[in-house]
Structure 1
Amino acid sequence: MDISYILNELGEDRSQYFNAVAPPIVQTSNFAFDTFEELRNAFANEDSNFLYSRGNNPTVDILSKKLAALDGAEDALVFNSGASAIYCSVMANVKSGDHIISVQKPYSWATRLFDNILPRFGVQTTYIDGTKIENFENAIRPETTVIYLETPNTLTYELQDLKAVADLAKSRGIITIVDNSYCTPLYQQPLALGIDLSLQSGTKYLGGHSDVLAGVLTGSKEMLKRIFNEQLLNTGSGISPFNAWLILRGLRTLPMRLEHISKSTRKVIDHLKNHPKIEKIIFPFDEDFPQLELAHRQMSGACGLFTILLKANTLDQIELFTYSLKHFLVAVSWGGHESLIMPQAAALKPEIFDANNESHRLARIYIGFEDPDYLIKDFEQALEVL
């Protein structure tokens, strides 16, 4: 299906809303029915009817169709945050006594689910180095039901071989879930490689303007119908019509935004690569990245997120460098118009900072819409403080 058709036409029956070019925000909690038969059908199949906007809604339905098509999926669910998509996708596939295999250091709210919530219900999680397929093979138990992936992760960008993991999991009857927030469906297609469920934070590139929270889950119609009826409806974690409309607006410009950000990022990285104050740059498409061949094999782009290892001796130096940047905001997340920096040291208590620990000197960079030369000049003056 052509991406231009998906982003600009799919799901948009304009004759139903006065031929408006932009789809409407159907800001209603409730829907009325003309007959008992219509009401009965809505009760029985709420995922495909409009009964109550906690579940399905016309604005959300347009967005769901587009997101499913972008991922090459049968269906999509849209949540009020990426954390909700993680929670519902995992909870739908475990029961007491089950076992999960997860890559090391996944997104923080996935970690809290695995470490703080699921153990209360007898579900255990084993964390592994996901860069080697044999680590998955060795971690599988008879009670393993889920393999949880995040490729690339969003600090040091380790990858997992999605096809190899999917093939292994299918041979053992294990469900695979991948967080695809870094790449978006435009730059990586997990379902085409055999993954069962692909999720992403719509807050990032899909929205694109840092003004909306959303999570996306795509997969088979059968599995998503079950997740809709059980996890999404019970947690009330579906997206609001207005936020769905904001994501629809963001999708219109998604390809051109990713292309612009990718080009700017490459230019900034090339300039910083040999800077005397930077020890290393970590980026999946960098020629020194240890999994470069795999990155090119399963990703078509890497976009705007990379990490620098600063040559710093003290925490004060890192803080001074961070706040010497005039055109980067110090913030989490990514995917909007604004360039960002997130120093890893900010998550540490000052007394445990150790300059010999590389992870303490990492700073994650996001390149936004600004001119790359404008950002390079900012880096140059800020790096002088080191």
Structure 2
Amino acid sequence: MFPFTHNPATLSLIINELGEDRENYFNAVAPPIIQTSNFAFKKVDELRAAFQDEMSTYLYSRGINPTVDILRKKLAALDEAEDALVFNNGAAAVFAGVLANVKAGDHIVSVQKPYTWAFKMFENILPRFGVTTSYIPGLTIEEWKAATRPNTTFFYLESPNSWNFTLQPLEEIAQFARERGIVTLIDNSHCSPLFQKPISLGIDLAMQTATKYISGHSDTLGGVLTGTKAMMKKIFDSEYNTAGAGMQPFNAFLMLRGLRTIVSRFERITTSTLTVLDSLKQHPAISELIFPFDASFPQFELAKKQMTGACGLITIILKAKTRAQIVTFCESLRHILMAVSWGGHESLAIPKCAGLFDHEFDPGNREHQMVRIYVGLEDPHYLIQDLEQAFAKANLG
């Protein structure tokens, strides 16, 4: 068994049983899709109570829905959190988590180059209301302390991030933030709760893009926030319902389907990732290889302390002198698809230089030479052969 953050029995219980009251829906093995917009009441006072606390009952599927509720319970338990909210996508989850905890005049400290839609919120939306953001590498607690101002109320973390996999020391940051009354939110999409439990390390809000490993099939979108019941209620009563960003019943059903196989998928993907990783080490086409659980990773010791594993993502830095070589490499891949995201059954590649024109490419800038590989469920040797023929066509190595 792989070193997941939960023991096997606990994982099995959460994934296969928690929240599933089968006697309430004809003993169906799979939870039903309760595809309804609203719910009826027989008593006026029951309706009044629902108006007063919509999170405690089923009133309108914009808020709480039975199919969505089953997913919420499972995802909260996986994070060892008191409660969870599920959103239409990860961007909505980040937006709600931040907006619920900042006010005009506040200051945010964020990791450098955060998730695109977090960055757009920090740069394009929040400044309209007098909220400012500072960006730091965030590799040490000293950086977070130095960036904190009297009006700092929020820390935004990504550990690991999605390109060079840099980490933040979560326990130290969480302790400092609690002492200062600063709310912390981490994007935990890279690890998911199976390989890292930020709530247990003291982080207030754990976010993951359920589109990725939770779904596992690249056919639906979703976002998750977990934390205390009080925090989830605060977000539900305001940003969640006001923006109407909650997940729909059919999407929740697809997430539950994906969650059934997450352990098996993680085991397969982890094994295959290590096989592909070994084949790329010392490869003549590659100047550097980045993977959090490889001994060459600069923060390897911190990775082992905070995470129980790493899954799927490898960043390679190609010995490319031109952007055209990287373009040829990516366009020559026959079986590895070129696409954003990760976590599904299919292997993917995305070049950092996709955001550049040819004249902007700098062969001396390692970021311009980055290609991120996601190892899916295919046979790893099948993927290695695909990479090799693409290296050759691009005259790399």
Q: TM-score, normalised by structure 2?
A: 0.96
Counterpart for residue 200 of structure 1: 208
Cα distance in 1 for partners of 2:192, 2:267 equals 13
- The residue type paired with residue 105 of structure 2 is G
Matching of residue 214 in structure 1 with residue 225 in structure 2: no
> Which one-letter code corresponds to 1:85 in the other structure?
A
The AA in structure 2 aligned to 1:71 is D
Question: How far apart, in 1, do the equivalents of 2:350 and 2:388 lie?
Answer: 18
Say which of 122, 125, 128 aligns to 2:133. 125
Rounded to whole Å, the distance in 2 between the matches of 1:275 and 1:350 is 25
Note the 1:213-252 alignment, pairs <5 A. 213-252=221-260
Deviation sequence 1:195-236 (CA, Å, 0-9, x none): 000000000000000000000000000011010010000000
1:4: which partner in 2?
Answer: 12
1:345 and 1:270 map into 2 onto residues whose CA distance is 25
- Shift of residue 306 of structure 1? 1.2
Give 1:379 deviation, angstroms: 1.1
Tell me if structure 1 keeps the 8 A contact 2:108–2:156: yes
Is the deviation greater in 40-49 or in 27-36? 40-49
- Counterparts of 2:264 and 2:46 in 1: how far apart (Å)? 42
Q: Please name the residue that 1:103 is paired with.
A: 111
Which secondary structure state, in structure 1, belongs to the residue aligned with residue 268 of structure 2?
A: helix
Select which of 63, 66, 73 maps to 1:58: 66
Counterpart AA for 1:40: R
CA shift digits 1:148-194 (9 cap, x unpaired) = 10000000000001001001101111111000000000100000000
Amino acid of the residue matched to residue 164 of structure 2? T
Residue 40 of structure 1 corresponds to 48
Structure 1 position 350, deviation (Å): 2.0
Aligned equivalent of 1:371, options 379, 384, 396: 379
Shift of 1:325: 1.1
| CA distance in structure 2 between the aligned counterparts of 1:156 and 1:30, rounded to whole angstroms | 45
2:285 match = 277
Unaligned runs of 5+ in 1: none
Compute the displacement of 1:132 (Å).
Answer: 1.3
Identify the residue that residue 6 of structure 2 maps to in structure 1. none
Which amino acid in 2 is paired with 1:355? P
CA contact (8 A) 2:324 2:358 kept: no
- Among residues 267, 272, 281, which one is paired with 1:259 in the alignment? 267
Per-residue CA deviation, residues 76-117 of structure 1 (Å, 9 max, x unaligned), is 000000000000000000000000000111100000000110
Alpha carbons 2:55, 2:63 under 8 Å: kept: yes
- Residue 123 of structure 1 aligns with an amino acid whose one-letter code is V
Give distance in 2, aligned partners of 1:148 and 1:96: 17
**1: distance between equivalents of 2:68 and 2:122?**
29
- Which of 67, 70, 74 is equivalent to 2:82? 74
Deviation at 1:356, TM superposition (A): 1.1
Q: Which residue pairs with 2:123 in the alignment? A: 115
Q: What's 2:100 paired with?
A: 92
Report the equivalent of 1:293. Answer: 301
- CA distance in 2 between counterparts of 1:33 and 1:383 reads 64
CA distance in 2, matches of 1:13, 1:44: 26
- For the pair 1:49 / 2:57, whether they are aligned, the reply is yes
TM-score by length of 1: 0.99
Per the alignment, residue 173 of structure 2 pairs with 165
Aligned length: 386
In the TM superposition, what is the alpha-carbon distance from 1:260 to its structure 2 partner? 0.6
SS in 2 for 1:2: helix
For 1:68, the aligned partner's letter is A
Letter in 2 for 1:82: G
Distance in 2 of aligned mates of 1:350 and 1:381: 23
The Cα shift of 1:349 comes to 2.0
Counterpart code for 2:213: Y
Letter of the 1:120 counterpart: R
Aligned residues of 2:164 and 2:290 also touching (Cα < 8 A): yes
Which consecutive unaligned segments of at least 5 residues does structure 2 have?
Answer: 1-8
Match among 344, 347, 356 for residue 348 of structure 1: 356
Q: Name the amino acid aligned to 1:293.
A: E
Q: In the aligned structure 1, how far is the partner of 2:119 from the partner of 2:384?
A: 35
Partner of 1:15: 23
- 2:391 corresponds in structure 1 to 383
CA offset at residue 351 of structure 1?
A: 1.6
Alignment RMSD (CA, Å): 0.7
Q: How far apart, in 2, do the equivalents of 1:162 and 1:260 lie? A: 28
Kindly provide the amino acid, as one letter, of the partner of residue 6 in structure 1.
Answer: I
Q: 1:313-366: per-residue Cα shift (whole Å, max 9, x none)?
A: 111111111111111101000000000000011111222111111111000100
Structure 2 Cα separation of the partners of residues 350 and 49 of structure 1: 56
Report if the CA contact (8 A) 2:215-2:257 is conserved.
yes
Partner of 1:136: 144
Amino acid at match of 2:278: D
**2:27 & 2:160 partners in 1: Cα distance?**
41
Aligned with 2:347 (options 339, 350, 366): 339
Structure 2 Cα separation of the partners of residues 78 and 48 of structure 1: 16
